[in-house]
Structure 1
Amino acid sequence: MRTNRNLTTLATALLANPHAHHWAYNLHQHTHIPRNTLNTQLHHLTQQGHLTNHWETPHPPNRPPRHYHQPTPTGITWLTQLITNAHPHHQPNPYTGPPPGTTQP
């Protein structure tokens, strides 16, 4: 996966609370990464074994279920190295609000 500012921003957001369950819309709100880009990155990180994912069960009847993502132990190491070794032009954008993904299902 090619490193860029969006990826380092996503890595920073995921590592803000690495044991939490993160969902794409919440990550989008806090990082301002475009949703299509974010979903593609989450998909690739999952395929590479850096994230696990699962659907929220049970989910509240007033909204669709959330698709949660969580860094794996090797993913935490990889994401940390990604941030540490990022080119100065790829430093993460700051995100706003509390650390994303603070839900523990």
Structure 2
Amino acid sequence: MPTARVLAALLADPGADHYGLELMQQCELASGTLYPILHRLTEAGWLERQWEGVDPAEVGRPARRLYRLTAEGATEARQALAELRAQLGGAGAATDPRPAW
């Protein structure tokens, strides 16, 4: 279910860049759960990642690693969540980044 939460959060704004802390808060997941999921999704070609283009000295924090769904990833994520909803009897709202299941 943690992967479903991450996919739902990413699909809430599929064209946007997302960073780890934001996703941890949205999905209510610890970093030790989130980052392996992001790594697996990246390796599968569902996500692309890049470093934020900022000067850490100017913004007063380290640069963030940003994650964005690929076109294939968005398609696959929608399909995976639809299959999961069907298996669970349709539980969970499509707009809630934290599915009810």
Give the TM-score taking structure 2 as reference length.
0.81
Give 1:35 deviation, angstroms. 1.2
Give the aligned residue type for 1:67.
R
C-alpha distance 60-50 of structure 1, shift in aligned 2 (>3 A):
same
Once the two structures are superposed, the pairs formed by residues 13-92 of structure 1 within 5 Å of their partners are: 13-61=9-57, 62-86=60-84, 87-88=87-88
For the aligned residues, what is the CA RMSD?
A: 2.1
Distance 2:56 2:34 in 1: 24
After superposing on structure 2, the runs of 4+ consecutive aligned residues of structure 1 that deviate more than 6 Å are none
Q: Tell me if the contact between 2:15 and 2:68 (Cα under 8 Å) persists in the aligned partners.
A: yes
Distance 1:26 1:32 in 2: 10
User: Which sections of structure 2, spanning at least 5 residues, go unmatched?
Assistant: none
Distance 2:88 2:75 in 1: 20
C-alpha distance 32-78 of structure 1, shift in aligned 2 (>3 A):
same
* Higher normalized contact order (CA 8 Å, seq sep 6+, divided by chain length): 1
Give 1:95 deviation, angstroms. 4.7
Of the two, which has the highest radius of gyration? 2
Give the aligned residue type for 1:40.
P
C-alpha distance 65-47 of structure 1, shift in aligned 2 (>3 A):
same
Give 1:34 deviation, angstroms. 1.9
Q: Percent identity?
A: 30
Give the TM-score taking structure 1 as reference length.
0.78
User: Which sections of structure 1, spanning at least 5 residues, go unmatched?
Assistant: 97-105
Higher normalized helix content (fraction of residues): 2
